[in-house]
Amino acid sequence: DSYPNASDKPVDSPVLGDELQFTESDIQEAITRDQFLVEFQPQVSLRDNSWVGVEALARWLHPEHGLLYPGAFIATAESAAVALAFTEHVIGIALRQFGRLAAEVGFQGSLSVNIPPTALTDVQFPDRLLPALAECGVAPDTFVLEMTENSLPENDQVVLDILTRLSMRGVSVSIDDFGTGKSSLERLQGAPFNELKIDMVFVQNAQTEPSSAAIVESAVSLGRRLNMNVVAEGVETCEAAQWLHSIGCGMAQGYRFGRPMTLDKLVAWAADRPDSSGATSKDEL
Ligand code: C2E
Ligand code: MG
Ligand code: MG
């Protein structure tokens, strides 16, 4: 079994909901009715297996369809009409819960949230985000905005201005699903990215496909040369974690370490770790 413990499997039975169709006003209404929630997935350092961050992932507790994963609704939620409202709503939920992590388990790592460029249209976004971080006791330099590269518009001055302003205040900007978008290398220039997340497709195929292994190795060395934090996504096995460490990848996220969990489960997960605040033996990778 590649999962550390069976209890990591989600309690609820979320539905993929691929067949469902939602409109922008469905999303708006779900925001108003407070039907979105977040789960947190841990990120660990491959150097010493310590717990260093969490990524907040949106879910929709739909009154008819049950708990929905992003695959069912995120394309609509990222459409221009609702992207900013949805993003700020989810960030608000994540921040309030994340504030409790510090209080309840003394966690001092980072919080990552996903943000589509369609939500970066308002130059006043930083003026609302920074006070919201302060209010929840989250230091800007522990906050990470993850953007998928294929959704990054080229030469969008407003997007760049917003990212640059936040970056100057200490917020990190991460390029999500690296390797899958177009012009991925070109887009590393100009925007203030300081983290690169290698898409799980390459990470998972690397064990069996030399071409995927080569892509992961190049992405790691590129990230290191550009002084970026490199995170491997979708790490499910001990072998994958050890290999990633051996090629110089700094951080990992995946079922090997923990599934996305509600805050309560995350608190329990943290308590179960040999040493939740610091290093554990490298053998436990
Ligand atoms: P992502 O940001 O790349 O998030 C990682 C996804 O990979 C999550 O799926 C997570 O559950 C899954 N995952 C993590 N580790 C493993 C593993 O070891 N094996 C496998 N098979 N999967 C793993 P999820 O939660 O379904 O999210 C899918 C995507 O939806 C995210 O991909 C992100 O692009 C988007 N998303 C999620 N929450 C938000 C949000 O609040 N706002 C926006 N704009 N997008 C979001
Ligand atoms: Mg992400
Ligand atoms: Mg990703």
CA of 234 to the centre of ligand 1 (A): 9
Stretch 84-88: mean pLDDT: 98
Q: Yes or no: say if 77 and 86 are a contact pair by the CB < 8 Å rule.
A: yes
Distances in whole angstroms, Cα of residue 165 to Cα of each of 94, 127, 174, 179: 22, 10, 15, 26
Query: What does DSSP assign to residue 117?
Result: G
Say how far apart CA 254 and CA 259 lie, in whole Å: 7
Stretch 67-77: mean pLDDT: 95
The ligand with the least distance to the CA atom of 56 is 1
CB distance 114 to ligand 1 below 6 Å? yes
Query: What does DSSP assign to residue 19?
Result: T
How many beta carbons lie within 10 A of that of residue 69, not counting itself? 19
CA of 177 to the centre of ligand 2 (A): 7
- Report pTM: 0.91
Stretch 189-204: mean pLDDT: 91
Q: Is the pLDDT of residue 204 over 80?
A: yes
CB distance 175 to ligand 1 below 6 Å? no
Among 233, 238, 244, 251, which residue has the most ligand 1 atoms within 8 Å of its CB, making it the best to mutate? 233
The pLDDT value given to residue 156: 80
Which amino acid belongs to residue 81? A
With b for 16 or more beta-carbon neighbours within 10 A and e for fewer, the 18-52 pattern comes to eebebebebbbebbeeebbbbbbbbbbbbebbbbb
Q: Yes or no: say if 53 and 110 are a contact pair by the CB < 8 Å rule.
A: yes
Q: Is the pLDDT of residue 30 over 80?
A: yes
Distances in whole angstroms, Cα of residue 214 to Cα of each of 89, 196, 245: 39, 16, 15
CA of 194 to the centre of ligand 2 (A): 14
How many beta carbons lie within 10 A of that of residue 192, not counting itself? 14
Output 182 or 274, whichever has higher pLDDT.
274
CA of 197 to the centre of ligand 2 (A): 8
Who's near 163: CB < 8 A, 6+ residues apart?
120, 145, 173, 191, 192
